[in-house]
Amino acid sequence: MTHLLVAGKLHPTGVARLEALKSDGIKVTYLEEINEPSIAAHIATADALVIRTQPLSAATITRAERLKIVSRHGVGYDAVDVAALNARGIPLAIVSDVNSVSVAEQAMMQLLAGAKQAIRADRAVRDPSKWGWRNQLEQREISGRNLLIIGYGRAGQKLARMAAGFDMTVRAYDPYLQSQGWPDGPVDPVETLSEGLAWADCLSLHVPRGEKPVLGATEFGQMKPGMVIANTARGGVLCETALAAALSDGRVHAAGLDVFDIEPPTDDMALANHDNAILSPHIAGLTEEASERMALSCIENAMGALNGTLDPTLIVNKDALK
């Protein structure tokens, strides 16, 4: 009997899909926990594994005697030991374009809330003694400003269209797309990141985490004073220490962050002390609508790998498996 192991809470529509699979004779183990030990207890008999954000280490993969597919509930896979999957010939699939609208909307919200200093404005109402803050004129317009999008994939391209509605001038930095072929449309690339940082009034990050931050102390020094930053990408793509310093000295007017170096953040995270930082708990892709699409997509990817119908473009390690 085929065994599908699902680790992590799914949208109710996804749970209903699991029930339908059971009716079709599929063994389904559904664990709402998102820790690796919960997976390890059931992995030995699983043919397919659906996971959310929890780690999947080589030690657990070694115990997966029958595993033929790992399907991510999302697009990131930082916590998965891909090399261990490659060694076993196990593909890793991500969902298709199910949450780029949600992510782009979150980034647009961060840019607006940052420019308008939404947290300080909220506090000025809740504490009558701060009402006079309004006269400091810290709130700004984004219309007519320059927006640099770092990473011009699906979410970045949707953000560009949203920003155009606010009369922003948009450019993007994405060396991969520049080498492979730039998408059609009104957004031009910048040749170098430093060029883009010197030009931009606002920026939004849409890139995977690398070996070092895309924005570190050097890059913050290349920005115009008063930058507004949105990060819906991954923790670690910007240096939180450098950002905290830039928020304090005015180089950055405000920043919206949905992702962090450590999640959940520790009590001593410097950004928590800045009221010009708009923080959210990694929810950019977790709208009601996107969660439903992700739940169905990750299940179908898992089953598609078993029956030979999985779209190969959704396999992130296909080159290594060849």
Residues tagged active-site: 234, 263, 282
Number of other CB atoms surrounding residue 91 within 10 Å = 21
- Identify the bridge partners of residue 150 per DSSP, sorted by sequence position: 173, 205
- Identify the bridge partners of residue 6 per DSSP, sorted by sequence position: 30, 50
Q: Residues with Cβ < 8 Å from 30, sequence gap 6 or more?
A: 6, 10, 15, 18
Contact assessment for residue 44 and residue 109, using Cβ atoms and an 8 Å cutoff: no
Q: What's the burial of 131, exposed, middle or buried (CB within 10 Å: 0-12/13-18/19+)?
A: exposed
Contact assessment for residue 242 and residue 268, using Cβ atoms and an 8 Å cutoff: no
Contact assessment for residue 43 and residue 31, using Cβ atoms and an 8 Å cutoff: no
> How far apart, in whole angstroms, are the C-alpha atoms of residue 52 and residue 74?
7
* Listed residue (48, 19, 30, 93) closest to 303, CA to CA: 48
Q: Which residue has the tokens 């060694």?
A: 87
3-state SS, residue 321: helix
> How far apart, in whole angstroms, are the C-alpha atoms of residue 314 and residue 322?
15
Q: Residues with Cβ < 8 Å from 59, sequence gap 6 or more?
A: 40
> How far apart, in whole angstroms, are the C-alpha atoms of residue 220 and residue 231?
14
